[in-house]
Chain A
């Protein structure tokens, strides 16, 4: 079966995330487990679309941001699951995944500049390997070409 996933929530390190250590794993982490499991079962993953606060996962954390330390020290209190974006990157390398970051959601959250938004083919330096910036048309396209499109929020 062909799946596409929409990752709508942050992995726990974003400024707008409100996860605490007592909260269940955020949607991004659940989506990652789901993706690994479906690939292990022989299904195919057409696209993972990062939207809403999920776009934070595609970028290296700002070294001044509160949760940035979690990138070099996974398992710390700030982000109990480490940096999910790095794990998506690794999974993408193994399975040639199409990881798409929504340009408008990234712009709205200040993760890319207006200029970078107009030239998404020039990937910005903070974008993790394996991710690409594109538009909402990719979301519609994913829904049309997949048997199941699942939102993780």
Chain B
């Protein structure tokens, strides 16, 4: 089953970022195919400047859990003047239209 997680919370929302990472790791343990789409303030979770060390460590675990598809919405990066080449995870930049296709191609979308 293909599951997409849409992540919109900034890294400063510690409780919520913990919740989303927990859910992602749990789904991956159950052998589901996982993709992540960071958008709005959620893209800040991918920046090395994010002041949330625990989150950084947990995001670092994702590859070990087999989560390799990581996307960020281009419009969210542009409006925050971010460059994905510095991100802590290898990230593919997509536009709104591609995000729509991404959502349509997954069986379930979790929106955190």
Report which A residues bind B (CB closer than 8 A): 6, 8, 16, 51-53, 102, 104-105, 108-109, 135-137, 139-141, 143-144, 149, 151, 153
Closest to A139 in B: B23
Known: A149-B110, A151-B111. A51 touches B19 (CB 8 A): yes
Known: A140-B27, A143-B1. A105 touches B19 (CB 8 A): yes
Q: How far is the CA of A149 from the CA of B4 in the complex (A)?
A: 12
- For the A-B complex, the count of residue pairs with Cβ-Cβ distances under 8 Å equals 52
Known: A144-B1, A151-B112, A153-B112. A139 touches B26 (CB 8 A): yes
Tell me which of A51, A52, A140 contacts B30 (CB under 8 A): A140
Q: How far is the CA of A51 from the CA of B111 in the complex (A)?
A: 12
Q: How far is the CA of A16 from the CA of B16 in the complex (A)?
A: 11
Known: A52-B16, A52-B19, A105-B19. A149 touches B108 (CB 8 A): yes
Contacts A/B (CB < 8 Å), 20 sampled: A8-B111, A16-B15, A51-B19, A52-B15, A52-B112, A53-B15, A104-B22, A108-B18, A135-B26, A136-B23, A137-B26, A137-B30, A139-B27, A140-B32, A143-B107, A144-B30, A149-B109, A149-B110, A151-B109, A153-B112
Is B73 engaged at the interface, CB distance under 8 Å to the other chain? no
